Structure 1
Amino acid sequence: MAKSRNNLLGVGGQRKKLSRAEQQGAGPARDGDRKVAEDKKQELVRKMRERAAAADAAPAQDAQADS
């Protein structure tokens, strides 16, 4: 059976279901959770870069001490 071209139901996409807090203007709690997660990720990346820099500097210092 052919599709009807006059039926445009669902063409515009779906709307997100709003929680009660979102409906009352309190804003989604997810945004706060995402912010916390992003902050933790940035902190972890910073620590990893510091450790990598320290690990790269340590062999260079050992090489200079051996000379």
Structure 2
Amino acid sequence: MAKTRNNLLGVGGQRKKLSRADQQGAGAARTADRKVAEDKKQELVRKMRERAEAQAPATAEADGNATAAQS
């Protein structure tokens, strides 16, 4: 197949564009850092949900007592 500037169809596959860090071999470390950051985020979300669940029953109790006192 002729390789001309205007007709490159079928010449070769596309290559993934690499960042400078990936080209220099720091890609694996960056991937690990992203994983650690994602783990920290998940842990924070879990703690926030636990706190919200712990406060929800206490708030419901306080509202129930306040309603009973008004009657």
Aligned length: 60
Please identify, of 27-36 and 13-22, the stretch whose mean Cα deviation from structure 2 is larger: 13-22
Q: Which has the higher contact order (CA 8 A, sep 6+)?
A: 1
Partner of 2:38: 38
Runs of 5+ consecutive residues of structure 2 not aligned to the other structure: none
- Are 1:8 and 2:12 an aligned pair? no
What is the TM-score of this pair, normalised by structure 1?
Answer: 0.58
Alignment identity in percent? 50
Runs of 5+ consecutive residues of structure 1 not aligned to the other structure: none
Kindly name which structure, 1 or 2, has the bigger radius of gyration based on alpha carbons: 2
Q: Per residue, is there more helix in 1 or in 2?
A: 2
What is the TM-score of this pair, normalised by structure 2?
Answer: 0.56
